[in-house]
Structure 1
C-alpha cells in the first residue's frame, strides 16, 4: 500500500471519528488494539503503533461488551444474521 491523500484522510477520520465522549473512549481502546494486529509493514505505512498492553485492553473491552450484550435482542439479531450457533434458551422468544 502506497501513501496517498485518500489514505491520509481515512487515517485522520479514523483517528478522530465523530463520536460522543463515551463512545470515543471505547473506540480508542478498540482502535489501538486493532492497530496491534496489523502487519508491521502496513502498520509503519499507516503510522500505527503496536502494543501488547493495547491488545490486552481491547480483549478486556470486548469481553466486557460480550458480557453486557449476552442477552440483548441486538446480540441475538447479530447472531442470527451471521448464522452463528447459539443456545436459544438464553434469549426471549419474542425477539
Structure 2
C-alpha cells in the first residue's frame, strides 16, 4: 500500500478566500499524476465525509500539464470566525495523509 507522498511531491491546503478551502496535490511526474487520478481517491465523497460538506459543493479539477489536482470546498467556518480552528487552513490536509492508497 501507499500514501499520498508516494504520489505527490507537495500536498497542501490553504484558503481560497475567507469562505473557501482548497487542496493542492502536486505529483512527482506524469506517471504518478495519472496513477493518482485513476485511483479515484480524490473524489468529492471523501472530502464530503471528512469536512461535513455536501458533495455538490466540492470541485475536483485535474491539471495534467501541471501534474496537479486541485480540490475546493466551502470552509467549515468562515476565516477568522470564533469557531475557526485553522485561520490559514494550512493544516486541513492532515487527515488525508494517513489514508492508504494502492501503490502507484
Using structure 1 for the length normalisation, give the TM-score: 0.30
Question: Which protein has greater RCO, CA pairs closer than 8 Å, 6+ apart?
Answer: 2
Which has the larger strand fraction? Answer: 2
Over alpha carbons, which structure has the higher Rg? 1
TM-score of the two chains, using structure 2 as the length reference: 0.28
